[in-house]
Structure 1
Amino acid sequence: MSLVTIILPAYNAEKTIARAIESALSQEYTDLEVIVVDDGSSDSTLNVCKALADKDNRLKVLHINNSGPSAARNYGLSRANGEFICFMDADDEMSSTMISQMTSNMQDDIDLVACGYKVRSNNGEQAFEQRLDDKTYSNDHLYEFIGKLQEAKAFNPLWNKIFRRSIIDGNNLIMDTSVDMGEDFLFVVDYCEKSKKNYKTLSSPLYNYELSNNGLQVTANRNKNLDRRLSQLEQLNKIFNQRNYPMDIIYKEKLRILYTSLLESSDLRILLNEVNKKEYLNDFINLDVKLSGKYNIFLKILKIKHIGIVYLSIKLFKLVKKIQGKSFNWG
């Protein structure tokens, strides 16, 4: 069995950290080291972790001054010994077979495996789940792998993937500590660019992600999230241009970003004025790609270029989302 390192940054997570750690240590796959990096917590998080470490020597507890989740993950990476690397968050859980299923599919010709996941609201109820196909993508079809994951909102996260440490270490890949949000997306893009082998997706939803009303994904969404998302997408855009990949996936992602940012905006009129001022809509007026469902409708609304109609339509989209029970923010 190959050693797998699970890196778990924790900040003031005394209420959930034990559950997260226990789900990692209770894996069917036993050749593990779980590295918890306490990011300067002011509550009892560190004490909870140390108490659990006394019971299982596979758990290593590290402590740094409060520096943010990216710095904590980077510190965990610097201390990792596993051939494979997984990440998780302090308020989430892994299914008991997650690591065994991920590692069994990480064959010699595979550099990255991604699985589906379940999303749980902060009251403990399941909000929805995202499933992928059981499929292998060749390295020269990276764009298809990315496109499928983006459609399922499964490309950006770190926690639904297993990585090779040799690729991370060999290319000095780290989390960008200069950004407050989206550093996971940038890391995954870097990793995929450096990978030489194939990619695989698993349909099973093996990770349980908990939404938080107080989490980073909510607070960051209130401040220039549209600009941040589009700026970070440029890194992926460059790879597509360099490799002469079809650009439909990038165009669709830009449209999804615009749609998501408008729905999440706390002041829709201001954001719509900014979209018009920066001429973001111009990229989509002559867009000729196949879209389905809400994005097809959304694009037709954008092409009208009437701020009042767009405003009312976004309000309607938000109402429908609320009725469907999906009125949460997503980074």
Structure 2
Amino acid sequence: MGFLRMIKVNVFTMAYNAQQTIGRTIESVLNQTFGNLEYYILDNGSEDQTWNTILKYSGKDKRIVPLNVSKNDPTNGWAIFRVIINCTNADYVVWCDADDAYALDFLEHMVRFSEENRLDIAVSGYDKINGNTGEIEKHKVLENNMIIYGSIFKDEFIKYRGFISFLWGKLYSSSFLKAADYVRQPGNARTCNDTIWVLNMFRKAERVGIYGKAMYQYYQYQDSFSHRNIEAGLSSYRDLWAATKEYLEFYGPISKLNEDFLYAIHLSLVKEATENIFIGKMDTEKKLRLLKEVFSDPVWEDTLKREADEMFLNLAARKEFICDIKDKILSLTEIGKYSAERLCLFSYLNI
């Protein structure tokens, strides 16, 4: 591995009630082919055996620095993360969620990729895995590695946007993070916080690289935050659309193609939000109220009218999506009692 032996990496994991998955995460870090690492694991006020599991592993491997707090709070992780960044002597910092895992050569490839290309941020491809079935639902890769700098940030946005969504799977240069004066993630519960933070870091970076192979295993479960906190998700997708628009405007006027892509992203987020509403455990009245919140949004009206490039298949299939929403509304329990609400929704859907 040559010069890589001189490089040090800090890994950070924040865990809450993760006794079923934290072992897999820890082992994927400790068994890396790149060994010069220090692993900070924060138990964020768990009520199960997460802390005992962390202590068991830390007793066997001194590279682990176990940390815990008594009260669960999402801001705890960011407070600790800031301390690590400000005090670290490591060259790179990387995050791994407590229910995910690295490919065993993740760090070796990502550090080499970053060093050889002088990157502020190195991003890997990933597999999105259904945590309940083990099925790979998305294999996000590129045929060739990609280096982003200068005008490429706006010109190739469509190509790399799908790799931005998450905090994990990214190797951050410690010196870059310190110089970037990054802000702490907001404490309010929003499913888009990670993406907005990463967008801000991309905007401050001079060089970003996408390592095309899937080196990170992202597990998603039915009881994940986005499925349990539907109302938080509704505000999130609007915030994310606005943040993405602001990101593109930072590089100058938004091209027609990127603007089309923005609306395609918005429609994808609307589809996810409405699906969560329909499958959510709530009564019909609440479902109708949340659906109205989605479809009364002015951005939805613009999305509905948008004459977009045919390459954006979901925009081209808007009529099918609207018909599907109509059928699902009509099949809601006791929908006949809510004729006014139903007609109001249909007007937003332009039916």
Question: TM-score, normalised on structure 2?
Answer: 0.78
Partners of 1:74 and 1:175 within 8 A in 2: no
Matched, 1:187 2:197: yes
Q: Distance in 1 between matches of 2:295 and 2:56?
A: 55
- CA shift digits 1:127-185 (9 cap, x unpaired): 323232222222322135542243x4x32111121112222222332322233422211
* Matched ranges for 1:223-238 at <5 A: 223-238=231-246
Matched, 1:241 2:252: no
Match of 1:40 in 2: 45
Partners of 1:116 and 1:129 within 8 A in 2: no
* Matched ranges for 1:14-53 at <5 A: 14-53=19-58
Identity of aligned residues (%): 19
Matched, 1:277 2:296: yes
Match of 2:341 in 1: none
How far did residue 32 of structure 1 move?
0.8
What secondary structure sits across from 2:56 in the alignment? helix
Matched AA of 1:229: Y
* Matched ranges for 1:85-96 at <5 A: 85-96=93-104
What secondary structure sits across from 2:270 in the alignment? helix
Higher alpha-carbon Rg: 2
Q: Distance in 1 between matches of 2:329 and 2:113?
A: 41
Matched, 1:123 2:138: no
Pair 1:16–1:278, CA change in 2 (3 A): closer
Match of 2:59 in 1: 54
Pair 1:219–1:18, CA change in 2 (3 A): same
Q: Distance in 2 between matches of 1:285 and 1:181?
A: 24
Partners of 2:192 and 2:239 within 8 A in 1: no
Q: Unaligned stretches of 5+ in structure 2?
A: 1-5, 279-283, 331-351
- CA shift digits 1:174-216 (9 cap, x unpaired): 32223342221121011111112x2221221111111122221
Partners of 1:8 and 1:89 within 8 A in 2: yes
Structure with more of its chain in helix, by fraction: 2
Q: Distance in 2 between matches of 1:84 and 1:70?
A: 22
Q: Distance in 1 between matches of 2:40 and 2:292?
A: 46
Partners of 1:116 and 1:203 within 8 A in 2: yes
Partners of 1:9 and 1:90 within 8 A in 2: yes
- Farther-moved stretch of structure 1 (105-114 vs 23-32): 105-114
Matched, 1:214 2:219: no
Q: Unaligned stretches of 5+ in structure 1?
A: 316-331
Matched AA of 2:269: I
How far did residue 102 of structure 1 move?
0.9
Partners of 2:226 and 2:233 within 8 A in 1: no
**1:257 pairs with one of 269, 282, 299:** 269
Partners of 1:116 and 1:204 within 8 A in 2: yes
Count of residue pairs the alignment pairs up: 308
Match of 2:106 in 1: 98
Q: Distance in 2 between matches of 1:210 and 1:202?
A: 20
Match of 2:153 in 1: 142
Partners of 2:129 and 2:137 within 8 A in 1: yes
Match of 2:337 in 1: none
Matched AA of 2:261: I
Partners of 2:25 and 2:99 within 8 A in 1: yes
Partners of 1:155 and 1:185 within 8 A in 2: yes
Match of 2:318 in 1: 299
Matched AA of 1:92: D
Match of 1:320 in 2: none
RMSD: 2.6
How far did residue 24 of structure 1 move?
0.3
Question: TM-score, normalised on structure 1?
Answer: 0.83
Partners of 2:14 and 2:98 within 8 A in 1: yes
- CA shift digits 1:219-245 (9 cap, x unpaired): 12x215233211233123123223224
Q: Distance in 1 between matches of 2:43 and 2:137?
A: 30
